[in-house]
Amino acid sequence: MCGDGSFGQLGTGDNQSRNLPFEVPYFTTKHVEKLAFGMRHSLVLLKDNSVYGFGSARRGQVGKSASKNQKFYSIPRLIDGFPNCKIVNLYANGDHSAALDESGQLYIWGRALVGEHDDDQPRVAFPSLSISQVALGWHHALVLSRGELYIIGAYRHQKRDPTLSENAVAQQLNLTTASSTHHGTPRNI
């Protein structure tokens, strides 16, 4: 890895930036499967299905919330919360994180995309959806389920507020087509 390390997001045990690529010491003897990078945090999925986070903990996006004396975690730390499932992808952006398991369950943590409070523990979002793709934005996420696109979180600075219960429903978007002379606008239905 290389780049800005001011929040410990390089996993080196400090907050120094690095201009040249280097191997993160913690993962030297481990088999890394997937990586995801937010603005100030990083996520790593290992072959053994363990997920690690490091960097800013401002909103709990590394699986642990910041405290008065600990604003970031510069050494990779294990994120619990994926019982009996196989994680197949990780996502990070802004102050939130997500993981997708092989059955299409989406786990989110960090900045509150749903509900009222930030959460440092992964929680299943929208258990009624089988999700195939995820894209995280700064304050929102787009998820694709059975060919339908849903938005979670802020939309034009207005928070969509489903809860993390069994009754949670994402806002479905109706996307219209576009041509060279006109275009459609996504809208909530």
Strand order in the sheet with 119-125: 87-93, 96-101, 106-110, 119-125
Q: Which of 27, 64, 75 is nearest to 48 (CA)?
A: 27
Q: Taking the model in full, what pTM does it have?
A: 0.79
> How far is residue 10's CA from residue 27's CA, in Å, rounded to a whole number?
12
* Separation of first and last alpha carbons in the chain: 42
- Average pLDDT, integer, range 138-155: 81
Separation of alpha carbons 113 and 26, rounded Å: 30
Architecture of domain 30-188: 7 Propeller (2.130)
Closest CA to 11 of 19, 99, 22: 22
Contact 43, 53 (CB under 8 A): yes
Average the pLDDT over each of 56-65, 79-88, 101-110 and give the range with the smallest value.
56-65
Residues 6+ apart with CB under 8 A from 7: 15, 40, 41, 55, 56, 71, 72
Judged by DSSP in three states, 26 sits in helix
| Cα 37 to Cα 121, 129, 173, distances in angstroms | 18, 25, 26
Domain boundaries, the chain: 30-188
> What gap in Å lies between CA 106 and CA 96, rounded to an integer?
13
Compute CA distances 167 → 2, 66, 124, 126, 162, whole Å. Answer: 42, 30, 12, 8, 8
pLDDT bucket at 116, cuts 50 / 70 / 90: low
Q: What is the pLDDT of residues 151-169, one digit of tens each?
A: 877 654 444 443 333 333 4
pLDDT of 139 reads: 79
Q: If residue 46 lies in a helix (H) or strand (E), which one and from where to where?
A: strand 41-46
